[in-house]
Structure 1
Amino acid sequence: MTIRHGCFFSYAHGQHAYMSKFKDDLVDALKCYLEPHFDNEEELFVDSEQLGGGDDLDEKIARALCESACMVAIYTPKYEAHGYTRREFAAMQLLERERKQWYTLPSHLIIPVIMTRHPSGLPPQIAGPGMYVDFSRYTLASGDLKTNPDFLPDIEKIVHRIAEHYHCLKRSTPPEHDCGRFVLPEIPPEWRVIPPPHFPR
C-alpha cells in the first residue's frame, strides 16, 4: 500500500458562497500548513479537484479513502442528511478498525470540523469520538483562514493530528496491503431518529 494523501476531505457540496467558500478556505489553509510534513504525497484528497466525469466514483472514492492517512469531515446538518457523506464516514471507520491491528492509533482517524450546528445538537458520531474542531463562528467576513489569528490555533490542531496519523501509517502499513480491494460499505442509516410529526388536537 502506498500513502497518496495526507487526508481525505469529506463534505456535503454547497451551491452558494457560504459553504463553498468555507470548504475552499479550509482546503487552502490545510494544504499550506501540511506541505512541510509530506514527501511526494498530496496533502489532501478533495473530490472536486481529483475526480473526472468518467471515473468509477465508488471505486475511486474507496481507493482514495484507503490511501489517505485520515479524514477531515466538514460537519453541517446537510452532511448527516446525505447518504454519500455518511457512507464516506462509515468507510473511514472501517479503515480505523483495520489499522488498529497495525499500530496504536494516536487518535481517531476522523477529524470532525463543525461548520454549522444542527438545532438539536451534534450527533454522537460527531460529538462522541473525541476531538472535533469548532469553526461555527466562521462567516463570509472571516477572511483568509490561513492568516486569521482567530482560527490559526484550530488549523494547527488539525495539521498536527493529520501529520501524526501520516507518520504512524507510513511506519506501520503492511507492504502487502492492497487498497484496490477496499470497497465502500452500504449507505448507513440516518444518524438521528426523526420523530413523527405531532399535530395538536
Structure 2
Amino acid sequence: MPFKYSCFISYRHGQRRMMQQIINDLHDALSSEIEIWMDKEVYLDRERLQGGDFYNEALATAICESLCMILVFTPKYFSREHTYCAREYKAMEELESRRLKSWGKLWSLDTKKNKQHELIIPHGLIIPIVVRGEDHLPHEIKKRRQYYNFEDFLLGAESINSRSDFARQIRNIAKYIADMYRTLETLSEDPCQGCESFVLPTEDEINLWIDEVQGPRPPFPMP
C-alpha cells in the first residue's frame, strides 16, 4: 500500500511536562495497539514537543502519506496566533474528501457486482481526542465527527493503559484505523498520488476559516 503511516498525530506544542507527557503517552499507547493490527507507524513530530513554533513543510508530505489524523484537542488547538494546527486539520480534511469519494465509488461498484465480502465505509479520517476543553471544541466538529473525551486522564504515575476505560477507547481507535486500511487495499486509485507536491493552506486562507469555526471574538469588557 502507498501509505507510509497509519495516522498523523496533530497537537499544539507545550513547553511544560504535562503536555509532553500526554502526547508521549498517547503516542506510545496508540502505537502499541496499531502494531498488533498493521505494519504502519504512527507519525509524531517530536520537535514540536520541545516547544518550537516553526512549521516544517515536510510535515505536509507526512500528512498526505498518513491514512488518517488524530487531532489532540486543547482549547489552543485552533489558535489565531499559531495557525499550524488549523492548517494541518484543513489539509487532512481536503485529503479526507478525496479519499471518501474513492470509497464511495468502490461501494457503488461493489453493490452493482453483488459481491459478498464486507466493505468498511469509514465515518471520517479525522479522529478528535479531547484532552482538555470539551466545551471549546467547535460545533462543526461536534456535529460531524465522533470524538473521544480524555479530560479525566490525570498525570503522575498513571498511564493511558493503566485505565481500562481509556485503553478500551485506544483499542477501538486502532481497530477502526485497521479496518479502513483493509478497505483501501481494494482501491484501484492511489490515495497518496501527488503527496510529494501536497501543500497546506496558506496563513491567509486558514485565518478566514478560523474566524468562521471559532466564531466572533468576545467583546472587550467595558469599564
TM-score bracket for the superposition, by shorter chain length? 0.7 to 0.9
Structure 2 match to 1:197: 220
CA distance in 1, matches of 2:162, 2:31: 13
CA distance in 2, matches of 1:177, 1:16: 38
- State TM-score, norm by structure 2: 0.78
Structure 2 match to 1:57: 56
**Distance change in 2, residues 1:62/1:121 (3 Å):** closer
Kindly indicate whether the alpha-carbon contact (under 8 Å) linking 2:153 and 2:160 is maintained by their aligned counterparts in 1: no
Give the alignment partner of residue 131 of structure 2, picking from 96, 106, 115. Answer: 115
Kindly indicate whether the alpha-carbon contact (under 8 Å) linking 2:3 and 2:66 is maintained by their aligned counterparts in 1: yes
- Aligned pair count reads 193
Cα deviation, residue 113, structure 1: 0.3
Kindly indicate whether the alpha-carbon contact (under 8 Å) linking 1:5 and 1:68 is maintained by their aligned counterparts in 2: yes
**Distance change in 2, residues 1:173/1:26 (3 Å):** farther
Kindly indicate whether the alpha-carbon contact (under 8 Å) linking 1:18 and 1:139 is maintained by their aligned counterparts in 2: no
| Pairwise CA RMSD | 2.4
- State TM-score, norm by structure 1: 0.86
CA distance in 1, matches of 2:195, 2:97: 15
Cα deviation, residue 128, structure 1: 2.2
**Which sections of structure 1, spanning at least 5 residues, go unmatched?**
none
Give me the identity figure in percent: 35
The one-character-per-residue Cα deviations of 1:121-152 (angstroms, maximum 9, x if unpaired) are 32124312221000001111461212321312
Kindly indicate whether the alpha-carbon contact (under 8 Å) linking 2:60 and 2:198 is maintained by their aligned counterparts in 1: yes
**Distance change in 2, residues 1:173/1:18 (3 Å):** farther
CA distance in 2, matches of 1:169, 1:144: 32
CA distance in 1, matches of 2:124, 2:199: 20
**Which sections of structure 2, spanning at least 5 residues, go unmatched?**
105-120
